[in-house]
A and B are shown apart, each in its own frame.
Chain A
Amino acid sequence: MSARRRTARFWLQAALTLLVCAFLVVPVILSILAGLTENFFVGLGSGLTLRWVGEVWTLYRATLGYSIGIALACLAVTLVIGVPAAYSLARVQNRFTRVFEELLVLPVAVPGLATALALILLFGQWREFRASAAFILVGHVLFTLPFMVRSVLAVMVAMDLKTMEEAAASLGASFTQRFFNVVLPNSVPGILAGALMVVTLSLGEFNLTWMLHTPLTKTLPVGLADSYASMRLEIGSAYTLIFFVIIIPLLVAMQWAARRAQTRRT
């Protein structure tokens, strides 16, 4: 009897798991199909076409390059300021660095809308800055920096930084030499995982970007919102399809890198 009850339980669990999977996947498939269908209202019977993808390409191509540019700039900034900050947090553990670590996470803990309003209210009068890509970049750096720092910090804390550095120092390596030749090479899995996360998050960021953008500084998600509001369903879907093509490989790479960083730790 117990075995039968367990099977009922098993099948119930299996059904629910499949239902959750379907809930997450079916809309994505619908969206991809809608972007490739001649007329979604009529259905797939109206035939498959790349016409909508082509239209999106001519209408919104600029947002794509713009988003990639911002994401790469964001990656550069978070690498240059985030990796040294992570080292700092790994090497010195006292009350101040703990507070600093808490502070860095605030832009993620507080809704992006609040951060964006704050930036606009303080810097909005400064026209050149407000209208430039740097304004959006600032928002993206604030939002992605904690992910870079945490990812690198986790790897740095797990390796025996102190012993390695002492060994290098006893051989005469200076602080700078140790940072570049010992610390950085050993942190590569964390840096890689953090980098993929930063690029993925930056490409998809909307909450901040919608408030910070101007008609001349439109990112891909801003363009998406625009197409959902003003274009026919097929164009919105085709645009989303282009977004998926970029973001899904990044997502897969991100999970692979995170797993790799984790196995290096244990």
Chain B
Amino acid sequence: MLEPITARRLDIATHLRRTLGADFVVVPAPDHPLVMRSVDVLAGGRSGLTAIMMSTAEELRRPKLFDARLKLNMMALPPHTAFVYVAVKGEIWRGRQEAFAAELSIEDHASREDLTRLATNPPKTRHLQKAERSQKHSEARFADTYRLARALRRGLRHRLAVDNVAVSRAPYRDRLPNEIEGAFFPSTPSSQAIANLALEGADRWYDIWDGEPEPRPSAAGAAFVQSYPMARGDPDKILRAAAFAGWVMMPLQTDRSFEELGALVQRYTRLK
């Protein structure tokens, strides 16, 4: 049976903390302000940044989810981050090999030493200029998208939900004018539902080309919510991470027409 991802993360983080020494910070499941589902372990020290990724049981069944998580994290973390993939027992890896500086198998006894070696001396396989350029384009589009989401929320603070009380897990889907994808949550979406939506949006908004993520020229989607969910410790995280993944969260009850909202999304969230 597959060991839970939390146990695998902790196991690798404990090993790296022991072997890398106090110069490094090793974080299992880091909380990045721009993504809902982060890499599994991040190690930062004098030699640079190493992001370790492993597939969850669901990602093994649906590799597109892993692909989307990889795209979002490659776009969010600095371009000099080396990504390393760790395969689980018996796994046949069918992913994007060119995006990873190295691929290891947890079955291999030498893999732990390899991880320490890679974190101490991360391979320089990234196209730094290309990655930096893509990130700049993506950040500019994110700024506009996030600004639009905050502007549409203005005046609705009283509708903010605390700690995801009433939740809806799956949205109804429809299209808005201007070919804008719409997702309609009848109540407060759970953070899990927004995380799933974010992974779906990543496919529409980003691609990986030659091992580096690139923004795609599509407009964002519109995620309609009855009330806004909040994450503990970072009240705007869900709104921000949704915007980074290509979704403008907006209130279900609004004076604006769908035509007007579709035009706003089209105008503000295109790649410039």
Question: Do A and B assemble together?
Answer: no
User: Residues of B with Cβ closer than 8 Å to A?
Assistant: none
